[in-house]
Structure 1
Amino acid sequence: MTDKSTETKVSEAQSAALELAKLPESERNAALYDIADAIEAERERILDANETDVEEAEERLAEGEYTRALVDRLELSASKLESITDMVRSVADQGDPLDRTLESRRLDSGLELYKVSVPIGVIGTVFESRPDALVQIAALSLKSGNAVILKGGSEASSSNRVLYEIIREATAGVPTGWAQLIEAREDVDTMLGMDDSIDLLMPRGSSQFVSYIQDNTSIPVLGHTEGVCHVFVDRDADLSMATEIAYDAKVQYPAVCNAVETLIVHQEVAEEFLPVVAERYREADVELRGDETARSIVEMKEATEADWSSEYGDLILSITIVDSLTDAIDHVNAYGSKHTESIVTETAARASTFMRSIDSASVFHNASTRFSDGYRFGLGAEVGISTGKTHARGPVGLDGLTTYKYHLEGSGQVVGTYAGDDAKPFLHEEFEGDWNPGHLSGE
């Protein structure tokens, strides 16, 4: 990579964004297929670079600097690379998010207004140790016509550098500069001050990290923060189903943000349910931490106040027993991170109450929290899971990387015609029709 300043890289991204917004979908898709093919062809190169990162991370794990969860997220394998290429092709196969007519309104005969989807522009991203995040973000940005500034964690620097170089080489036909890699921590601070050049920031990390970004920039921030997710086993739950859901939500992949961190159990089923699920957890080496009632049923460590708001990212689970549906809802809203929650119950009315009362981006009924994912939602992939409430929420796919603008097609109209004592009234009629420059569908 050439040694350019962050300002130069952002400037190049700005220029590329203007051209990328006009690039036909067929060319964007072709570039995505080229990326997938290149990753497959360069598999050994990627795995060698990743091995360097993992070896260094294992040393820092032994020294107590890193967690096992971080190392697990960092490590790539042949199967993970296959999943990455499948993801890139899945993004290419999604419908075009650009130039979609969202609304059509006839203001007058021959005067038609269209609300049309367009790229956001230049997106700055800062993400954690998972190298596959770089590919996901780049693929979604390309498909949605956005230029992107990529900043991964230093623990994945070798992996990120190789993946970036492969992506850049594979997209020679895309406007130069559409994807930029920055690596130094001070580059992030530089980026935060470039509100005249960067249109959106997307940090992925802890709440403290996202808060730091928000407090030190005037650029709009779409935050992906920690996942303190819950499964509530209701009094009316199918307990066999509840066992499988609670187990999957914790054990299937504990290092990710949509894994469950707190299991909430209704007191009416706790005596029957808890010993069964606890045995399953123990077979998987899950450390259990419970409140007083949970510990009176099954032997486990004592949960502290901090446990209820902790994202472990590991084989650790806190358990609390509640007296009512209302208590479960209150616990989630008090301690959750607004990510993903699930209720297991056979009573639709109780599921509805839970789902409508929880203030989280995703709320499930009789399903594992692990389904909270852009690929599983059918979005192709995700740039992150937004726990905020504006612009985009939950897994952010292609639609979350677009905004809109208004196109007005006229035939010589002036505002004076619609003002004053003899003002002509507006029609303001909604109609079915797509924006097609220069071709009005009016009378």
Structure 2
Amino acid sequence: MSTAAAPVRDDVLSTQEIAQAAKAAARVLAPLNEARRNAALEAMAKALEGASAELFAANAEDLKVAVSLTGEDALSAATMARLKLTDSKLREMVEQVRSVMALPDPLGRVLDAVELDDRDPEISKTQIPYGNDNKKTSGLHMEKISVPLSVVAVIFEARPDAVTQIAALAIKSGNAVILKPGREVERTAMALVRVLREALAAEGLPAAAVSLVLGRERVNELLAMHSLVDMVIPRGTKKLVEYVQANTRIPVLGHAEGVCHIYVDRAADEELALRVIDDAKTDYPASCNAVETVLVHAAIAGDFLPKLAERMRERGVVLHGDDVARAMMSALPVDDWHTEYGELEMAVGVVPSLDAAMEHIHEHGSVHTESIITEDAEVAERFLREVDAASVMHNASTRFADGFRYGFGAEVGISTSKFHARGPVGLDGLTTYKYVVRGAGHVAGDYRGAQGRAFTHRRKSEAR
């Protein structure tokens, strides 16, 4: 077992030094067995439980500064809600660390296995171990094995729980992580990272597996580290994500916004629809998976919209509507169907058909999460099949689009990209793969020409 040094303060290191230390830490984490990585996660969870006073004190300082901000610097109510660390949120953060620990090991999985040849060259005298079962076998064999990405940089805004979610997923998947928090959450993030680093060091693991960089000038420095950082994940506003995408050669995984829709079909159960919309808007309106637009089929709009307006009025939701919707209920005009309110506000539109609803979603949505409310199974299946989004749902709240709720333990972010990972990004999204080839003196030249050896190319399940 290696013995790690005491945690190093990131604030006295350059960005280059932090990235180099993270790369070195990643090389220590990658070959660790699952038991060692799980022990580190349990140590992290216990450390968080024991540091509640320190964490709440740091968060109180962040909140004090946040409340004093005015003008353009003032934080919205949604951001303040994300920023505040409560007893229940801290318990959930600890639970998420342990839920990640309980997940199956994402590393060393055989994603594919192909027998390339079932015989050895004549020079070979011995059979070799093949694969995880360590059985002796002859021939040339290839396996596709899951491995860590190595170093992941995550840029996020006012989310204390992002620190623990990301760190837990990184350690479980054998990656080092560099965190860049928004200035509004810096004190809380510093306290959280200090606690996590001390837990890692106590387990004999490198503290640099979880690192922190502060200050806007560090962002561009980090984005230039393409030789040390393997993926950047921005979690925040559309402006942040687009800035990161435009200013780095490192692969970027992120979503620019969460303009989520619920379509209430003509065959909807109206009470069910009200229940789902209520949850999707009011459970946590600051979340990117909260509903921002409700589309209602014209055939039921006259009956359903007044009920929706009353339900939303009771819940304190400000409604915006198109001309047809406003004729049936009290609502403000819709300024922009692309708006991600992030507050107790919601747009409502009336559409003549399922096709019109899907057209609206494809024109104005952000390919994040879309839901349909209907009792017509055929209509539901069309929606689920044809709507292009990372998550599509039937008779369910958009709030389910979440790594923890999907059983991923937590999430490092939600991706609306079609590259590498899509939707809530859990452990699988932090892994890649490599090809492992085992032979016994096999050479490519033996397979050339009319008299060359032939490949068998049998999948493992087909091989003898």
Q: TM bucket by the smaller chain?
A: over 0.9
Q: Are the aligned partners of 2:309 and 2:330 in contact in 1 as well (CA < 8 Å)? A: no
In structure 2, give the amino acid aligned to 1:406: Y
* SS of match in other structure, 1:96: coil
- Partners in 2 of 1:217 and 1:387 — Cα distance? 18
Using the TM superposition, give the Cα deviation of residue 155 of structure 1 relative to its aligned residue in structure 2, in angstroms.
0.1
Q: Are the aligned partners of 2:318 and 2:346 in contact in 1 as well (CA < 8 Å)? A: yes
- The corresponding residue for 1:398 is 427
In structure 2, give the amino acid aligned to 1:178: A
Q: Are the aligned partners of 1:61 and 1:68 in contact in 2 as well (CA < 8 Å)? A: no
- Partners in 2 of 1:396 and 1:181 — Cα distance? 21
* SS of match in other structure, 1:416: helix
* SS of match in other structure, 1:190: helix
Root-mean-square deviation (Å): 1.3
* SS of match in other structure, 1:177: helix
Q: Are the aligned partners of 1:10 and 1:197 in contact in 2 as well (CA < 8 Å)? A: yes
Q: How does 1:207-286 map to 2 (within 5 A)?
A: 207-286=238-317
**Equivalent position to 1:338, from 367, 374, 394:** 367
Gaps of 5+ in 1: 434-441
- The corresponding residue for 1:438 is none
Q: 1:64 to 1:146 in 2, by over 3 A?
A: closer
* SS of match in other structure, 2:361: helix
- Partners in 2 of 1:11 and 1:62 — Cα distance? 39
* SS of match in other structure, 1:201: strand
The yes-or-no answer on 1:296 pairing with 2:305 is no
Using the TM superposition, give the Cα deviation of residue 197 of structure 1 relative to its aligned residue in structure 2, in angstroms.
1.2
Please list the CA deviations of residues 292-315 of structure 1 after superposition, one character each: whole Å capped at 9, or x if unmatched: 1111000111112x2x10111100
Q: 1:176 to 1:73 in 2, by over 3 A?
A: closer
Please list the CA deviations of residues 400-441 of structure 1 after superposition, one character each: whole Å capped at 9, or x if unmatched: 0000000011112111221122111100000149xxxxxxxx
TM-score by length of 1: 0.96
- Partners in 1 of 2:440 and 2:84 — Cα distance? 60
Using the TM superposition, give the Cα deviation of residue 17 of structure 1 relative to its aligned residue in structure 2, in angstroms.
1.0
- Partners in 1 of 2:256 and 2:53 — Cα distance? 32
- Partners in 2 of 1:57 and 1:208 — Cα distance? 20
Structure 1 window deviating more from structure 2 (52-61 vs 199-208): it is 52-61
Q: 1:62 to 1:213 in 2, by over 3 A?
A: closer
Please list the CA deviations of residues 24-45 of structure 1 after superposition, one character each: whole Å capped at 9, or x if unmatched: 1101101101111111111111
Q: How does 1:62-81 map to 2 (within 5 A)?
A: 65-81=74-90
Please list the CA deviations of residues 213-252 of structure 1 after superposition, one character each: whole Å capped at 9, or x if unmatched: 1111111111132111011100011111001001110011
Q: How does 1:363-442 map to 2 (within 5 A)?
A: 363-432=392-461
- Partners in 2 of 1:432 and 1:131 — Cα distance? 46
Using the TM superposition, give the Cα deviation of residue 62 of structure 1 relative to its aligned residue in structure 2, in angstroms.
8.1
The yes-or-no answer on 1:85 pairing with 2:102 is no
The yes-or-no answer on 1:155 pairing with 2:201 is no
Using the TM superposition, give the Cα deviation of residue 208 of structure 1 relative to its aligned residue in structure 2, in angstroms.
2.2
- Partners in 2 of 1:177 and 1:29 — Cα distance? 17
- Partners in 2 of 1:26 and 1:205 — Cα distance? 33
Aligned residues: 433
- The corresponding residue for 1:321 is 350
Please list the CA deviations of residues 36-69 of structure 1 after superposition, one character each: whole Å capped at 9, or x if unmatched: 1111111111111111111221222688721010
Q: Are the aligned partners of 1:61 and 1:67 in contact in 2 as well (CA < 8 Å)? A: no
Q: Are the aligned partners of 2:198 and 2:207 in contact in 1 as well (CA < 8 Å)? A: no
In structure 2, give the amino acid aligned to 1:201: V
- Partners in 2 of 1:29 and 1:65 — Cα distance? 40
- The corresponding residue for 1:142 is 171
- The corresponding residue for 1:350 is 379
The yes-or-no answer on 1:287 pairing with 2:318 is yes
- Partners in 2 of 1:77 and 1:179 — Cα distance? 23
Gaps of 5+ in 2: 1-8, 119-138
- Partners in 1 of 2:386 and 2:167 — Cα distance? 35
Q: How does 1:51-70 map to 2 (within 5 A)?
A: 51-60=60-69, 65-70=74-79
- The corresponding residue for 1:439 is none
* SS of match in other structure, 1:112: strand
* SS of match in other structure, 2:69: helix
Q: Are the aligned partners of 1:374 and 1:395 in contact in 2 as well (CA < 8 Å)? A: yes
TM-score by length of 2: 0.91
Please list the CA deviations of residues 312-370 of structure 1 after superposition, one character each: whole Å capped at 9, or x if unmatched: 11000010011111110011111111110100011111111112221110010010000
* SS of match in other structure, 2:208: coil
